[in-house]
């Protein structure tokens, strides 16, 4: 909904999932980063904003951060619009103007060889439609689904039926990939699917603009 809007991104470290296609392993598979006080985070947002009034809280999984509600309150006191990017597995009451919810399906499951015990933990955690229903009933929202192959649509359509068929313009379909060739290949069949079902095609513009680089 806000593609192209000048924004400050705040990335939390730590995640309760281990998606096989995760492109930020430094915030999930092997969390990195320094602990920061809320006041320091807000100060850095103000310094970096350059007049922008949008803040995106992403991860990892920001909804598992225990001080998230206080952080949102302090950010909002500066007049910022807040988007939270979440997989929709955890609910918190927060001051947020847009929930960007990206539920994960079978194509995200890691192998046992790669993830060990985390494979079953991931599978047991990722499907939480009751949490997503609570989020979409309480916040302005968009639903963003990542597709590897056209057959992934079956799982998405079934999930939307469970949620009560949200409006198509709130459903974004994104191709999976971290290089432009893979994204272009999937775009060939994904854009027609979006047109067929009345969904929104969601390109990974940061890959096109900057490549798969940390910090973009």
pLDDT at 214: 63
How far apart are the C-alpha atoms of 80 and 97, rounded to whole Å?
9
pLDDT value for 210: 61
pLDDT at position 181 is: 79
Tens-place pLDDT, residues 84-142: 999 999 999 999 999 999 999 999 999 999 999 999 999 999 999 999 999 999 999 99
Q: How much of the chain exceeds pLDDT 90, in percent?
A: 81
pLDDT digits (tens, 9 = 90+) for 159-191: 999 999 999 999 999 898 767 777 888 889 999
pLDDT tier for residue 67 given thresholds of 50, 70 and 90: very high
Secondary element (H or E) of residue 159: helix 152-163
CA distance 183 to 189: 11
* C-alpha–C-alpha distance, residues 16 and 128, integer Å: 13
Angle at 136 between CA 131 and CA 142, to 5 degrees: 115
Cα–Cα distances (Å) from 121 to 86, 116, 159, in that order, read: 17, 10, 20
Nearest CA among 106, 74, 69 for reference residue 84: 69
Q: How confident is the model at residue 206 (pLDDT cuts 50, 70, 90)?
A: low
Is the predicted pLDDT of residue 205 greater than 70, yes or no?
Answer: no
What is the rounded average pLDDT for all residues in the chain? 92
pLDDT at 184: 81
215: pLDDT strictly greater than 80? no
- The 8-class DSSP code of residue 99 comes to E
Q: What is the largest CA-CA distance in the chain?
A: 47
* Residue 1 confidence (pLDDT): 66
> 102 or 66: whose pLDDT is higher?
102
pLDDT at 39: 96
Residues in CB range of 161: below 8 A, 6 or more apart = none
All structural domains of the chain, each given as residue ranges with its CATH number in brackets, are 8-210 (3.20.20.70)
Which 3-state string (H, E, C) describes 106-157? HHHCCCHHHHCCHHHHHHHHHCCHHHHHHHHHHCCEEEEEEECCCCHHHHHH
């Amino acid at each position: 909904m806000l593609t192209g809007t000048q924004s400050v991104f705040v990335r939390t470290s730590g995640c309760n999932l281990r998606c096989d296609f995760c492109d930020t392993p430094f915030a999930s598979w092997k969390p990195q980063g320094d602990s920061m006080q809320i006041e320091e985070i807000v100060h850095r947002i103000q310094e970096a904003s350059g007049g922008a009034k949008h803040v995106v809280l992403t991860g990892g999984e920001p909804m598992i951060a225990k001080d998230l509600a206080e952080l949102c309150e302090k950010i909002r006191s500066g007049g910022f619009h807040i988007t939270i990017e979440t997989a929709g597995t955890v609910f918190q009451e927060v001051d947020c103007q847009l929930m960007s919810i990206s539920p994960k399906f079978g194509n995200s499951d890691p192998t046992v060889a790669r993830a060990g015990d985390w494979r079953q933990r991931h599978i047991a955690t990722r499907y939480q439609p009751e949490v997503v229903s609570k989020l979409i009933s309480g916040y302005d929202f968009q639903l963003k689904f990542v597709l590897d192959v056209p057959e992934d649509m079956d799982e998405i359509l079934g999930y939307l039926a469970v949620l009560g068929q949200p409006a198509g313009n709130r459903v974004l379909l994104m191709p999976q990939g971290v290089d432009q060739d893979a994204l272009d290949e999937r775009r060939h069949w994904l854009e027609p699917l979006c047109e067929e079902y009345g969904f929104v095609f969601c390109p990974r513009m940061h890959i096109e603009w900057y490549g798969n680089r940390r910090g973009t």
